[in-house]
């Protein structure tokens, strides 16, 4: 879910948003596969914590949710998803086609697409902002669309981690190779399938995102950096290679100041509109 396309695609002039009505789907698909497919580890535990916060703090009754970028997998808890009207906006036609849980899907650009103010209880942007050229524009659109006390859930990679640095400075063909031969994803790099080119706008860095939130009246109610799920995946699939990567990470942690753990390759953030 929630994947983006190369920067060249983002920069192209967008046609008028196309709305696709999924209301008449034959039967709902059960989710979230995202949680079921995560190896046991810090990523899975943090997502469970996110689910608990959403279930406890979202209002009762029918919910209005905006998913900024969305493919075939929902990261929302079932208790939330089953009482929500989900609107997804994505620039990639394949991702729109793959989405089977949103009631409305819009082919459009999350940086520029605008909804009426006070439209949504929750905006979710998961594994998307690292691919977006103008993250500030996207975040401002999210903020505008939120109801008072509405929340934004962001899941993103940490650019200052070991995996973030490798992703930023290695060529895209290497990312595809890693997904295919280390993760075992034979469809990696095909249309509509990860990995997607990563840009890492400055606001993807957690400290910058926190400053933006404070400046725009958003309260951070959850913030968690955690070990990338790639590590437990590698330990299961390729233990010798994983041991080598872990050894490199431990050496880097020893040399870096403070309690830095370069394996903390991802984070979850929940922001609340004051």
Task: Output the pLDDT for position 208.
Answer: 97
* C-alpha–C-alpha distance, residues 254 and 204, integer Å: 25
pLDDT at 30 > cutoff 90: no
Q: Any residues with CB less than 8 A from the CB of 239 and at least 6 apart, and which?
A: none
Question: pLDDT category, 259, cuts 50, 70, 90?
Answer: confident
* C-alpha–C-alpha distance, residues 97 and 64, integer Å: 21
Nearest 5°: the CA angle 210, 214, 215 is 115
Helix, coil or strand: residue 230: helix
Task: Output the pLDDT for position 71.
Answer: 75
Tell me if 155 sits within 8 A of 51, measured CB to CB: no
* C-alpha–C-alpha distance, residues 155 and 167, integer Å: 16
* C-alpha–C-alpha distance, residues 81 and 125, integer Å: 15
Average pLDDT, the chain: 87
* C-alpha–C-alpha distance, residues 11 and 154, integer Å: 23
**pTM for this model (two decimals):** 0.84
* C-alpha–C-alpha distance, residues 77 and 269, integer Å: 16
């Amino acid at each position: 879910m929630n994947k983006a396309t190369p920067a060249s695609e983002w920069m192209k002039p967008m046609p008028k948003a196309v709305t696709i009505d999924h209301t008449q789907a034959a039967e709902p698909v059960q989710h979230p596969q995202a949680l079921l497919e995560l190896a046991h580890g810090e990523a899975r535990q943090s997502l469970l914590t996110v689910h608990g916060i959403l279930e406890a703090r979202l209002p009762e009754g029918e919910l209005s949710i905006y998913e900024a970028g969305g493919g075939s997998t929902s990261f929302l808890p079932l208790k939330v998803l089953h009482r929500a009207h989900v609107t997804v906006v994505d620039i990639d036609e394949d991702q729109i086609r793959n989405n089977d849980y949103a009631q409305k899907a819009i082919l459009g650009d999350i940086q520029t697409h605008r909804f009426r103010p006070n439209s949504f209880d929750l905006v979710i942007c998961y594994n998307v902002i690292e691919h977006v050229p103008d993250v500030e524009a996207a975040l401002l659109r999210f903020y505008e669309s939120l109801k008072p006390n509405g929340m934004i859930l962001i899941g993103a990679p940490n650019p200052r981690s070991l995996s973030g640095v490798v992703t930023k400075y290695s060529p895209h063909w290497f990312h595809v190779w890693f997904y295919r031969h280390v993760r075992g994803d034979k469809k990696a790099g095909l249309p509509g399938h990860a990995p997607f080119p990563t840009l890492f706008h400055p606001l993807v860095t957690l400290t910058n995102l926190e400053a933006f939130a404070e400046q725009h009246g958003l309260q951070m109610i959850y913030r968690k950096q955690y070990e990338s799920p790639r590590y437990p995946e590698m330990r299961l699939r390729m233990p010798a290679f994983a041991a080598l990567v872990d050894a490199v990470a431990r050496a880097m942690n020893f040399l870096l100041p403070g309690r830095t753990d370069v394996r903390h390759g991802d984070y979850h953030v929940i922001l609340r509109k004051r």
